[in-house]
Chains A and B, each alone.
Chain A
Amino acid sequence: MASTDIEAKVVVDARGLLCPMPVVKTAKAMKELQTGEVLKLISTDRGSVADIPAWAESTNNELIEWHEEAGDFVFHLRKGQGG
């Protein structure tokens, strides 16, 4: 699925932030969403590439896709049951 086709309910802009902020901000924002809704995260922290998939797996949220876009790392995450 092309990332432009995914409609995000909320966008978390974590550009310029380092560990642990991208994960912490994502977790906080995800709390406000309903199951099935999508969060878009934009990060410049290279650690996010490992951390966000690990966070998603560990919290029962789904990483739909991620890609690099002009130096930013863009993630689309769908809130899972109890995630």
Chain B
Amino acid sequence: MYTSPRAKLVNVSTIGNPVLDEEAVRRIVRSEIEHADAKDPGTASAALIASKGTLDWAYPPLILATTAASLGMEASIFFTFYGLNIVHKDYDRLLKVSPLGNPAMPMPVPMPNLVLGLPGMGPIATKMMQSKFRRKNVTTIRELLDLARDLDVGLIACQMTMDAFGYKADDFIQGVRFGGAAAFLAKARKAHLTLFI
């Protein structure tokens, strides 16, 4: 019969007790997980990059980071290039969706790209998605940003892209810190979970 090498530590005796009950098994599994986690803190860390500045692409990094924090992980998001839109003070106006060249976007009627390229189609598509999200009670970007700060998710804006785009520190929401590739990599090398979004 298999006995965990740490069974002793968690006070499970198999002598005269050949069948482990559920509670004992749980205790062993818990201890094994704790042991593995203690040896490898990378399992408790998530480092994400948000590189896209559209309304649809603002969701994945914010949802994953707030959920990671809710799982007890230390989470951070590095906002680079168009991803800076997400933490810009003006995110509500900047985050849009474009139907152009996006055949996956649900439309009330099929429309050729030529029509989608007409002036005004972008704002219409953005309004459509915003009202769909509101109707379905999807969490708003504002709520997710508030949550992220509340849960101590690290929000780091890429200094190089800020300089290139002409943004100042003042252009960003409260709680954003600034850094470069090394700031991200220093966190990412200690995290098992790294995603480029």
Known interface pairs A24-B66, A24-B151, A27-B71; A18-B139 also in contact (CB < 8 Å): yes
Interface assignment of A34: CB less than 8 Å from any CB of chain B: no
B21-42 interface code vs A (CB 8 A; 1 in, 0 out): 0000000001001100000000
Interface assignment of A23: CB less than 8 Å from any CB of chain B: yes
Interface assignment of B136: CB less than 8 Å from any CB of chain A: yes
A55 to B136 alpha-carbon distance, docked (Å): 24
Interface assignment of A20: CB less than 8 Å from any CB of chain B: yes
Chain A, Cβ-Cβ closest to B43: A58
Interface residue total, chain A, C-beta cutoff 8 A: 18
A18-49 interface code vs B (CB 8 A; 1 in, 0 out): 11110110111000000000000000000000
Partner of A19, one of B63, B72, B147: B63
Known interface pairs A17-B137, A18-B136, A18-B137; A24-B67 also in contact (CB < 8 Å): yes
Q: Range of interface residues on chain B?
A: 10 to 19
Interface assignment of A59: CB less than 8 Å from any CB of chain B: yes
Interface assignment of B138: CB less than 8 Å from any CB of chain A: yes
Smallest CB separation, A51 vs chain B (Å): 8
Partner of B70, one of A17, A18, A24: A24
A17 to B139 alpha-carbon distance, docked (Å): 7
Partner of A59, one of B71, B138, B139, B147: B71
Q: Which residues of A contact B138 (CB under 8 A)?
A: 18
Contact B137 A16 (CB under 8 A): yes
Q: Which residues of A contact B72 (CB under 8 A)?
A: 27, 58-59
Give the contacts of B37-81 with A (CB-CB under 8 A).
63, 66-67, 69-72
B-to-A contact residues, CB < 8 Å: 30, 33-34, 63, 66-67, 69-72, 136-139, 147, 151
A selection of 14 A-B contacts at a CB cut-off of 8 Å is: A16-B137, A18-B137, A18-B139, A19-B63, A19-B67, A20-B67, A20-B139, A23-B67, A24-B151, A27-B69, A28-B70, A60-B30, A60-B33, A80-B30
A-to-B contact residues, CB < 8 Å: 16-21, 23-24, 26-28, 55, 58-60, 80-82
